[in-house]
Amino acid sequence: MRELRHREAKWLSQGHKVFGLIKGTKVAVLVDSSEICCGPRKQEFQTDLLCLIDEQLRHKKQLYFLSFGTELSALWTDPVEVNLPALCEARQWVRALQPCGGCNLLKALRKAFTKRVLNSIVIIVGSCPDQSSEILSDYIQQVTLGRDLVIHTVTYECSSYVPPVILRNFSEAVGGRYHCYSSALEVSLSCQQGFSHSLAAQTLSWCFCGFVTLRCKIPIFTEVANFPHSSCLPKPPKHDNPLKIETPNFLTKTSADWLKTNGLKAKQLNLYQVLAPSAFSPVEEFVPILQKTVSSTVHEVKAMMQFEWHDGTVKNIHVDPPILYEYQKQLGRAVKMYERRIEWLSIASRRIWGTVCEKRVVILVDISVTNSMYIIHIQHSLRLLLEEQMSNKDFFNITAFGSEIESWSPELAPINQENLQSAWRWVLSLECGGSRNIMGAVRKTVEVDLKEKDKHTSQGIYLFTGGVPDQEMSIVNAYVAEVCGGCDLRLHICLFHTGDSDLDGIIPARYASMDDTVSAFREIARAANGRFHWFGDIGIYESDDISVIVAEMEEAINFSQKCAALVGSLKSRARSHLESKTSLKEDGKMLKERSSPQKFFPPKPTALTLARMV
């Protein structure tokens, strides 16, 4: 072990001493180009950056370079594949770095986080950022929640102790990697070669590396290996603090129920409702005297148009443009309202859970061993739910399941401040382990928490999971369909996407592709009269609550397009009618001019004619 530490210390003190070990394959490098960092020591800084490119970055798959001072300057618009021309451009970009005002790190982070392909961001800072560590860490925790991204922060040649302290606190808060480099410390270390290997390793670890790693795959120390796994994971600020419970001032509804009062049909904005008073069906009748069937004829060409009805028939519509213009304005206002609804559904706890609408609620949480690296995310998701959506319910319980099943309360408990805080303290104690016994968790909920489900209304089970259960999906599907039938009980699915399985890590008890998993849980939600909600690091992939709103928006847009087509056809017909009328008038004038007799003037008299006239 001592020899291993000695080799690692020697390796760190060579090519990786300035910036540490850069992890990830698709790397963004954010370089501080402030007056302090790129001022007097610019040449040494550029030399070290060129060494970083030659020693480490040339082995990556994709690179993205961005310098930040008061303003930003990117080498490329998007990450590029690593090849010889790209490396030459990167070296030239480093040589051309110029000092540029302050150190607006937040602006650089916002730019970098828009590049979704990146899996590692290296922040190289030589001065104090313009923003505080709290602002920076809060922002990063929000944008990286559920996203597998390594944040590697380097403080370079800081003359003051303030930047290293700020950046180290920032790295610890976001669960990133921290590296501090100073040439003065390097000189002092080189004078200590006579010390023992353990002391050298300890000094190097203090001076160079302050890593707070997201994943601890190799337990070096026995004491660390015995710690709970969640202790190695980064936590959001004030993660362990008591809940800040909010009380909603309105009754939450599913989008389907919300549309019953705010949909196009409820607002009398269905196109066929608007056109019905001025719609007339064509009439065909047999005329005995003519001995044939005669169809009705539209004579008022200016305002009557034929229009296909919702049942496939064709009706004659009296088109009134002012009414249709006003109708389109109302459709526009309705679409904006639907957009606000979708935005509301996409933020806070609703992004993770959807809307929790029932009065008697049981939360089933997947804490199988495959979710070990996401236990903090799971706890944070539960915190948001307890704070934002549970205070106006009547009864609740939380059940965590792996191979074993454990509940916060033996049965449903009433909603109050004390119980919500108690449930949160219990959630903080959860540790992942075992497989996914979803069937057992659902059965326990139905037989214990909701044993009197037939006597109550507004009951919901919310299953928060990341993969397929231990049991066959057909068995689970049949069971939930049976227990949810004949009573007011619904099972809703909250599926979170954690990316592809790491084959070098833990293999789940049962595996299915993401497409098969989504399809299976979607069927379970349908069988249990529930809603399906699927989200991940990018955002919401699929949500029944959002889908019905999008469908209503598409219908409104379709109605507006049909209105525009009706008015356009009417204008076109009126224009052609006017043109034909104008052409008839012009033709009449030409015929009139042609029919009028021509006047003949007498010939010019000659000399002989004039002599005779005398």
Provide the percentage of residues in the chain whose pLDDT is more than 90: 33
Q: At residue 534, does pLDDT exceed 90?
A: yes
- What distance separates the 2 farthest-apart alpha carbons in the chain? 152
Output the pLDDT for position 205. Answer: 36
366-389 pLDDT, tens per residue? 999 988 888 999 999 999 999 999
> What is the C-alpha separation between 588 and 582, in angstroms, rounded?
10
Q: At residue 215, does pLDDT exceed 70?
A: no
* HEC profile of 232-298: HCCCCCCCCCCCCCCCCCCCCCCHHHHHHHHCCCCCCCCHHHHHHHHEECCCEEEECCCCEEEECCC
99-109 pLDDT, tens per residue? 777 788 888 88
What does the DSSP assignment read for 400-467?
EESSSEEESSSS-EE--HHHHHHHHHHHHT----S---HHHHHHHIIIIITTTGGG-SSEEEEEEESS
Structure tokens at 376: 């903090």
DSSP 209: B
146-159 pLDDT, tens per residue? 677 888 888 877 65
Q: Confidence class of residue 417 from pLDDT cuts 50, 70 and 90? A: very high
Amino acid at 317: I
> Residue 65 burial (CB < 10 Å; 0-12/13-18/19+)?
buried
Residue 423 CA, chain-centre distance (Å), reads 29
Amino acid at 508: P
* Residue of 58 and 224 predicted with greater confidence: 58
Q: What CATH number does domain 8-214 carry, 3.40.50.300, 3.40.50.410, 3.20.20.70, 3.90.1640.30?
A: 3.40.50.410
Q: Confidence class of residue 162 from pLDDT cuts 50, 70 and 90? A: very low
Query: Mean pLDDT score of the chain, rounded to an integer?
Result: 79
> What is the C-alpha separation between 514 and 541, in angstroms, rounded?
12
> Considering only 83-97, 219-233, 419-433, which range has the smallest mean pLDDT?
219-233
Rounded mean pLDDT of 517-536? 94
Amino acid at 279: A
**Third-level CATH fold of 350-538:** Rossmann fold (3.40.50)
* b/e sequence 550-578, b meaning 16+ C-beta within 10 Å: eebbebbeebbebbeebbeebeebeeeee
Output the pLDDT for position 193. Answer: 35
Q: Confidence class of residue 584 from pLDDT cuts 50, 70 and 90? A: low
Rounded mean pLDDT of 413-429? 96
Q: At residue 120, does pLDDT exceed 70?
A: yes
Q: Residue 68 pairs with which residues in a beta bridge? A: 32, 72
Output the pLDDT for position 98. Answer: 82
Q: Confidence class of residue 235 from pLDDT cuts 50, 70 and 90? A: confident
242-298 pLDDT, tens per residue? 999 988 877 889 999 999 999 999 999 998 888 888 777 776 666 677 677 766 565
The ranges of the chain annotated as CATH 3.40.50.410 are: 8-214, 350-538
Structure tokens at 448: 């214990």
> Considering only 45-59, 199-213, 524-538, which range has the smallest mean pLDDT?
199-213
> What is the C-alpha separation between 57 and 65, in angstroms, rounded?
11
Structure tokens at 400: 């965590």
Backbone angles phi, psi at 73, to 5 degrees: -145, 115
Output the pLDDT for position 114. Answer: 85
Note if the pTM is more than 0.75.
no
Structure tokens at 206: 């203090």
> What is the C-alpha separation between 32 and 420, in angstroms, rounded?
45
Rounded mean pLDDT of 479-508? 78
> What is the C-alpha separation between 182 and 194, in angstroms, rounded?
21
Instruction: Look at strands 459-465 and 360-366 and give their pairing.
Output: parallel
Residue 544 CA, chain-centre distance (Å), reads 15
Q: At residue 59, does pLDDT exceed 90?
A: no
Instruction: Look at strands 284-287 and 292-295 and give their pairing.
Output: antiparallel
For residues 156, 99, 25, 517, the Cα torsion angle rounded to the nearest 10 degrees is: 110
Rounded mean pLDDT of 525-534? 95
18-36 pLDDT, tens per residue? 778 888 888 888 888 876 5
Q: At residue 300, does pLDDT exceed 80?
A: no
Output the pLDDT for position 19. Answer: 79
Place of tokens 């160079």: 208
**Which of 95, 97, 429, 365 has the alpha carbon at shortest distance from 231?**
429
> What is the C-alpha separation between 148 and 151, in angstroms, rounded?
10
> What is the C-alpha separation between 148 and 314, in angstroms, rounded?
56
Q: Confidence class of residue 478 from pLDDT cuts 50, 70 and 90? A: very high
